[in-house]
Each structure stands twice: as C-alpha cells, then as structure tokens.
Structure 1
Amino acid sequence: MLQQYFIELGEGYGDIYELMELMKTNSQRLHRTFIFSSNTKSGQAISLAAAFHPAQDSNFMPIYICREGITQKDESKSKRRLLFEEASVELGKEPIFIGLKHSSEFADTKLFYQYITGILRLNHLVPPLQ
C-alpha cells in the first residue's frame, strides 16, 4: 500500500537550502514540488514542499516540507521562495501552487498533514491510497 508521509525540515533559511539539496541529489526520484499558501492576519504563510517517488521497492512516498516558514505581506515573492521555484524549474518540475487552511486551525499537525494529503490525492497530484 503506497502511503505519503510528510517529513518536516524546519522553517528557517537553511532548511530551504536543505530541501533544494534533497531535490537535486534525488532528482531521479523527484515527483512534484509544491508551494502551499495560507492566509493569516499578517499576510500569507508560505510552505515549500517536494514529493519523491518511493525508494526501490518501498511503499513510502516522502513529502519533505518547510512548513509556514515564509511570510508575505504583499504580492512580492521572498528570496527563499524564488530560490525554491528556480531549483524546481531547473529540475523540470514547475511548482504547483495550492491555497490551504493554516496549520493553526487544526488541533494537531497530523490532522493538518492528513488534510493536505487528501487535497493532493483528490487533485491527482500524488498517487491514491492503494
């Protein structure tokens, strides 16, 4: 049974570089990249994520995420977001932009990740639960 699991890297500048390095070193496994946006009182909270095909014969599809570490007050894109978009395009994976509820609206981050997984599956952006 193929299952998707979120692996949180962190919210800082260095974590974005770690995510991009994972994408580059595992480019043959890279499935898709995502930019998730949530509205907050102070603007938008941006999460960056990359989904990878399972390694060898495993049924584990990792989705690495830097959750809500970027805040935007206007339409301009932050340097971290631009770097992520450039890295994605270089690897042939145009990032998919998805608007979401903010994680603070959920009692637990597990519920938040189940919510995102459901959206990704319903939109055929990751394989269905088999």
Structure 2
Amino acid sequence: MILNQRFIELGEGYGDVYELCELIKSNSDRLHRTFILSSETHSGHALSLAAAFEPANDGKFMPIYICREGIIQQNTIKSKRRLLFEETAEKVGSTPAVIELKNSSVFAETELFYQYTIGILRINKLLPPLR
C-alpha cells in the first residue's frame, strides 16, 4: 500500500546526476521506473532526470529522486549527463520513460509543479495510484 509519493530534489550539476545514478545502482532491487522529463524553454529543452523507488520495507512512502531542469538540450545530440543516466538505468533493466511537461517556471511554487508531474505520471500509468 502506497500512501504518499513525493519528489526529493537533488541539484542540477554533474555531481547530482552521479548521485542519482548511484542511488539507482545501489537500490536497483527497489527501482520502480526512471524518467526523462522534458519541457520547452526559450533556449531549448530543459531536461529533468528522475527515478522512482518502491517503498522501503513496510513503509508507505514512494520517493522520486529528481535532478530538475538542469540540462538544457538545444539540438538532438544527447548530453553526457543524459547518456550517463540512460546507461545506468539500462544496466539495471530500466528504460527511461520520456515525458513532455510544462516547465516548472510556469508554476507559482515548485510544489505545484511536482503535484502536476505526479498527476501526469499517474494518468500515464507510470506511477501507481495511491491506495
């Protein structure tokens, strides 16, 4: 039974992507799914990298770790951070779902962006409904 799904924000830099990849590797048995969330900006597409994990032990909390909009992609060439994330996910058997979203700057608060994103992921059956 999952009672709560929440984003846990990491930073936007290389070190943060490495941390997210390490979380995926060290918790591969709990990995639910990986995501590449894309949004349009005036200078290209802003990419967020995220990984959702099953609740720990008897917990009812599903964490979703995210590096929010730290990668700006202006063309079809994938950045090194995106490639690292995709390779790590594939090594543990996960193909990242690519989802197009509104940019977080559209929302008055970051928490509203996260509620919107969880709703989109649930509607597309990429996250389980709360039970």
TM-score surpassing 0.5?
yes
Report deviation, 1:2: 2.3
Q: CA RMSD in A?
A: 0.7
Write the distance in 2 (CA, Å) between the matches of 1:34 and 1:114: 16
2:123 counterpart of 1:127: no
Q: Give the equivalent residue in structure 2 for 1:94.
A: 95
Q: What TM-score, normalized to structure 2?
A: 0.97
Instruction: Give 1:75 deviation, angstroms.
Output: 1.0
Output the CA distance in 2 between the equivalents of 1:17 and 1:2.
29
> What 5-or-longer segments of structure 2 have no aligned partner?
none
> Are 2:70 and 1:69 equivalent residues in the alignment?
yes
Letter in 2 for 1:117: I
Is 1:118 paired with 2:87? no
> For the residues of structure 2 that align with 1:3 and 1:9, how far apart are their CA atoms?
19
TM-score by length of 1: 0.98
Unmatched tracts of structure 1, length 5 or more:
none
Counterparts of 1:127 and 1:95 in 2: how far apart (Å)? Answer: 16
Structure 1 moving runs of 4+ over 2 Å: none
Counterpart position of 2:56? 55
Give the residue type in structure 1 aligned to 2:118. T
* Other-structure match for 2:110: 109
Provide the residue aligned with 1:8 in structure 2: 9
For each residue in 1:51-107, what CA deviation from the matched residue of structure 2 results, as whole angstroms up to 9, or x when unmatched? 000001111000000000000111110000001000001100000000000000000
Counterpart in the other structure of 1:78: 79
Query: What's the secondary structure of 2:8's corresponding residue?
Result: strand
Classify the secondary structure of the residue corresponding to 1:82.
helix
Aligned residues: 130
How far does residue 3 in structure 1 lie from its aligned partner after superposition? 1.6
- Separation of aligned partners in 2, 1:36 and 1:120: 10
What amino acid is aligned across from residue 8 of structure 2 in structure 1? Answer: I
Percent identical residues: 68
- Aligned to 1:129, the other structure's residue is in SS state coil
